Amino acid sequence: MARVACGAICKLLLEQFDVEIGSHVVELGGVTASIGATAGVGAQHAAPLPGAGSPHRPAPLHLPWPLNAAADASPVRCLDPDAEREMVARIDAAKAAGDTLGGVVEVVAAGVPVGLGSHVSWDRKLDGRLAQALMSIPAVKGVELGLGFEAARRKGSEVHDEIMPGFARATNRAGGTEGGMTTGEPLVLHVAMKPISTLMSPLRTVDLASGAPAQAQSERSDVTAVPAMGVIAEAMIALMLAQAMLEKFGGDSLGEMKRNFQGYLAQVGARIPKGAAS
């Protein structure tokens, strides 16, 4: 609860710089949605350098935007109506069987400026910090950026994002970071959550005092926490991005931070050759 509350404050700070974060469920109980930032794995870029994207621009990566408004219209926060119906059916079936389900949430941060993080210091690489923050969420067992593990199965020509005139990327397969730093493209992360460990049909365990066989306790009645986990993942990403923004642009006031930010954008923009397409 505390981290979600802090994340909400960080979101307010990020909104001052046109950075917006949203999430939606892309897999639950073995059902995979057909809508997602990497569903086409060749998603076009949404934000040209210097990366000060606005939530009022066209939806990043062909997703509805604001993302949370669309996701919250679904009982399982899924954008694919067909997948949503099957997810609900599997939740009902698992509940009847006394079982639980896991899944995957996609989190997208739009409008993130280029250059956050570090390509020099291992402990300041933004992708590493994001992965650590998300892995700290209880029951989270895996994190991907962009194509993630799919990148290991492809040829280099099908993985790397070509740089276009104006320094934007033709695709966003990397998920918004390269070399530990943001590229100015939307951040796209996938967060995998295991099923809830306390089942209504308890699994076998042992009594810690005697070592004798026993049945695990039934401590909660919900079948899945995947949709709710997306909210926590958003908060963790907001915390990491706000920290990175403060490190790069911080000052003694919001006004000073905005001035530093605008100066940085002007400096980066001045490096783009005149006449280059954005």
Q: What is the pLDDT of residues 152-164, one digit of tens each?
A: 999 999 999 999 8
Instruction: Check residue 121 and report its DSSP letter.
Output: -
Does the structure show a pLDDT above 60 at 109? Answer: yes
- Measure the CA–CA gap between 75 and 201, rounded to whole angstroms: 25
- Measure the CA–CA gap between 34 and 224, rounded to whole angstroms: 20
Does the structure show a pLDDT above 70 at 15? Answer: yes
Q: Quick one: what percent of the chain has pLDDT higher than 70?
A: 90
Does the structure show a pLDDT above 90 at 78? Answer: yes
The residue among 142 and 203 whose pLDDT is bigger is 142
* Burial group, residue 183, by CB count within 10 angstroms (0-12, 13-18, 19+): buried
Does the structure show a pLDDT above 70 at 278? Answer: no
What is the pLDDT averaged over residues 129-152?
95
Q: What is the pTM of this model?
A: 0.88
What is the pLDDT averaged over residues 114-135?
94
Q: Across the chain, what does the average pLDDT equal?
A: 88
What's the farthest any 2 CA atoms get from each other in the chain?
Answer: 77
Q: Which of 10-19, 104-113, 212-221 has the lowest mean pLDDT?
A: 212-221
Q: What share of the chain is helix, strand, coil (3-state, %, to 5)?
A: 35, 15, 45
**Residue 15 is encoded by which pair of tokens?**
């909104």
Position 141 scores a pLDDT of: 97
Q: What is the pLDDT of residues 20-76, one digit of tens each?
A: 999 999 999 999 999 887 664 444 433 333 333 343 344 456 788 899 999 999 999
The residue among 42 and 216 whose pLDDT is bigger is 216
Q: List CB contacts of 222: < 8 A, sequence separation 6 or more.
A: 100, 196
What is the pLDDT averaged over residues 125-147?
96
Buried b (16+ CB within 10 A) or exposed e, 154-178: eeeeebebeeeeebbbebbbbbbbb
The residue among 167 and 265 whose pLDDT is bigger is 265
CA 78-75-56 angle, to 5 degrees, is 55
Q: Considering only CA atoms, which of 271, 123, 137, 121 is closest in space to residue 192?
A: 137
Q: What is the pLDDT of residues 247-274, one digit of tens each?
A: 999 989 999 999 999 999 999 888 887 7
